[in-house]
């Protein structure tokens, strides 16, 4: 295994990439921008929405009255709730950051 750190990616401008390895001191340190967590949660919401659509379609195909169709419908309902909770959490976080940054 190579220990050549000169080949590690370098951060040129932190706004251009969500993360980078930065050679500071006796090792590499991760640099993560402030929005990566919100982008990650947003991606989760988008994935959940795709799963909701697939689950609803599965329920339609199998019929909501069948055991498998009912499970698909139940899964869709749960994922809708999870997505809504994640959206609310993102909005609360944005408001919290805005309040915190207004005081600076």
**Which residues constitute the domain of residue 77?**
36-102
**Considering its fold, how many domains does the chain have in total?**
2
Same domain, 20 and 45: no
Question: What pLDDT was estimated at residue 17?
Answer: 55
pTM above 0.75, yes or no: no
Residues 87 and 41 in one domain: yes
Q: Residues 81, 85, 88, 89: what is their CA dihedral angle, to the nearest 10 degrees?
A: -170
User: Do 51 and 95 share a domain, yes or no?
Assistant: yes
Locate 58 and state its tokens: 């599965």
Q: Is 20 within 8 Å of 9 (Cβ atoms)?
A: yes
CA distance 101 to 61: 50
Q: Please indicate, yes or no, whether residues 19 and 57 belong to a single structural domain of this protein.
A: no
**64 with 73: CB under 8 angstroms?**
yes
Averaged over successive runs of 10 residues, the pLDDT of the chain (104 residues) comes to: 45 52 63 81 96 98 98 98 96 90 81
């Amino acid at each position: 295994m190579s220990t050549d750190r000169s080949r590690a990616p370098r951060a040129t401008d932190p706004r251009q990439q969500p993360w980078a390895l930065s050679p500071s001191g006796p090792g590499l340190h991760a640099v993560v921008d402030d929005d990566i967590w919100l982008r990650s949660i947003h991606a989760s919401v988008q994935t959940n929405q795709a799963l909701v659509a697939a689950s609803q379609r599965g329920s339609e195909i199998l019929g909501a009255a069948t055991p498998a169709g009912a499970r698909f419908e139940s899964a869709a309902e749960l994922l809708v709730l999870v997505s809504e909770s994640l959206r609310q959490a993102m909005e609360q976080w944005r408001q919290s950051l805005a309040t915190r940054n207004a005081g600076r």
